Structure 1
Amino acid sequence: MSFPVCDFPKARFVASPNHNERLNVSGPDMIILHYTGMPTAAGALDWLCREESQVSSHYFVHEDGRVDQLVAEDRRAWHAGKSIWKNETDINSRSIGIEIVNPGHPGGLPDYPDVQIAAVVELCQFCVERWSIPPERVLAHSDIAPIRKVDPGENFPWKNLYEKGVGHWVAPAPVGGGRYFQRGDTGQPVEAIQSMLSLYGYGLEVTGEFCERTHGVVEAFQRHFRPERIDGIADISTLDTLHRLLGTLPAFAR
């Protein structure tokens, strides 16, 4: 009996039936990070490999750093759900999905073990090099599905990944006073905030109204890039961090 060869050499293949062909792309250009959000690793892995679940991921990273591959990288795993980034809505076709064992918010959002993060870093480095994935397209599930999803959560160490060459990051501006914008506000400043978030990639219409969707997108941004306070309020700290992130993107850097 022959077994599939893993794309990532250190992985063990644990086949999930939940995948299909990638649509209208030559290969993935994004990595989406998730937490499992279930009480046990065994339960989460079993669910991802059950046909009736209709969900899967390419990789599954255990707390002790072991990596399982569930779906071949050239196939479309079903992990992103209803999502959007840079006006693209079929994120499953464009991405590699990585599930990281952690009970998540339902389980108190415990810290990710160092050995697990080291394995995530190595796996992401491999995928980034293999597929030439830009740093700013290594994203959280919560980035592509604000409000609906909050994983991998505010405890996920994005800075650590960035220091190892994975993902996009700037030091978040300190939380302090100053002017801020929140749900119910309207006008040109709100349009500017929405425009900056949209330019970065978030799925947000520029309306000039600080609506529920805008609040949720700001929360998602804070959860990834300014996790000290996640309140959906566009304060000076949030806006400064966003502005500096935009300024380091190739399209905006001078």
Structure 2
Amino acid sequence: MEIHQIPSPNCGPRRDGLIPRFVVLHYTAMKSAEAAIARLCDPTHEVSAHYVICKTGRVSQLVSEGLRAWHAGAGEWHGLRDINSRSIGIELDNDGQGPFAEALMQSLEALLAQMLNAWDIPPENVIGHSDMAPGRKFDPGPWFDWPRLEAQGLAGQRGSTPGPKDAQLTQFTVRARSAGYTMNTDPETLLAAVRLRYRGFKTGPIEPQDFTPLAPFAI
């Protein structure tokens, strides 16, 4: 796979000797991949990512995987913070309003396979921005095809333990925390974040089906 190098100045060393243990997926929410790259390379914006994948499948690397890109911001996953120092960030050329292009998905799959192997990252550690920052971030959003990655071993497998018939948000919060959603947030926001990952466009009161995909998480 050809990777185009477009260095961004918005990066630095990973803190405390940390190495990549997670991959965080984003969408660009911009007019084009080129516009996103320009922003991610502009020092006045102080944001970046390791990679940007265009709708055409073109992959651009902005930051070396060994360095800390500024893509995740405030958040928490499985009790861990400073996700920037613990992760590799991939921006996907999509506005959040429709499906992700086939060429983009193929390049993402190839890049993830290479990356997980190189850093010995388990598929369970491939997460969305919305997973680690519930309510603050919503990408890669309800259109992203998580089951496609799961089927190829490029994202964690869904759980199979059903929820109680009289599902309650307090019970759901306990299950979600054990699955890695440890960011301090209200139960309704937490439910919305989990649905973004596992149930796409689902809204309304909590249901037993909201519990099922949440498998206990282990780093």
Give the TM-score normalised by structure 1: 0.80
Paired residues for 1:50-199 under 5 Å: 50-104=42-96, 109-170=97-158, 178-181=165-168, 190=170, 192-199=171-178
Q: Could you tell which deviates more after superposition, 56-65 or 196-205?
A: 196-205
Q: Go from structure 1 to structure 2 and tell me whether the alpha carbon gap of 1:213 and 1:37 turns closer, same or farther (over 3 Å shift).
A: same
Deviations 1:60-89 (A, max 9, x none): 000010100000000000000111011111
Higher relative contact order by CA 8 Å / sep ≥ 6: 1 or 2?
Answer: 2
SS in 2 for 1:117: helix
Alpha-carbon distance between aligned partners in 1 of 2:160 and 2:103, rounded to the nearest angstrom: 25
Q: Go from structure 1 to structure 2 and tell me whether the alpha carbon gap of 1:230 and 1:128 turns closer, same or farther (over 3 Å shift).
A: farther
Structure label with greater radius of gyration: 1
What letter matches 2:166 in structure 1? R
Q: Is the CA contact (8 Å cut-off) linking 1:36 and 1:102 kept in structure 2?
A: yes
Alpha-carbon distance between aligned partners in 2 of 1:51 and 1:228, rounded to the nearest angstrom: 36
Q: Is the CA contact (8 Å cut-off) linking 2:33 and 2:53 kept in structure 1?
A: no
Q: Is the CA contact (8 Å cut-off) linking 1:36 and 1:103 kept in structure 2?
A: yes
Alpha-carbon distance between aligned partners in 2 of 1:70 and 1:172, rounded to the nearest angstrom: 38
Aligned twin of 1:226:
199
Give runs of ≥4 in structure 1 deviating > 4 Å.
171-174
Query: Over aligned residue pairs, what C-alpha RMSD do you find?
Result: 2.2
Q: Is the CA contact (8 Å cut-off) linking 1:59 and 1:71 kept in structure 2?
A: yes
Alpha-carbon distance between aligned partners in 1 of 2:182 and 2:47, rounded to the nearest angstrom: 23
SS in 1 for 2:12: strand
Q: Is the CA contact (8 Å cut-off) linking 1:181 and 1:234 kept in structure 2?
A: yes
Alignment gaps of 5+ in structure 2? none
SS in 1 for 2:186: helix
Give the TM-score normalised by structure 2: 0.92
Q: Is the CA contact (8 Å cut-off) linking 1:25 and 1:94 kept in structure 2?
A: no
Identical pairs, percent: 33
Using the TM superposition, give the Cα deviation of residue 164 of structure 1 relative to its aligned residue in structure 2, in angstroms: 1.7
SS in 2 for 1:39: coil
Deviations 1:140-187 (A, max 9, x none): 00000000000001110111111122011338899xxx53335xxxxx
Q: Is the CA contact (8 Å cut-off) linking 1:204 and 1:214 kept in structure 2?
A: no
Q: Go from structure 1 to structure 2 and tell me whether the alpha carbon gap of 1:195 and 1:99 turns closer, same or farther (over 3 Å shift).
A: same
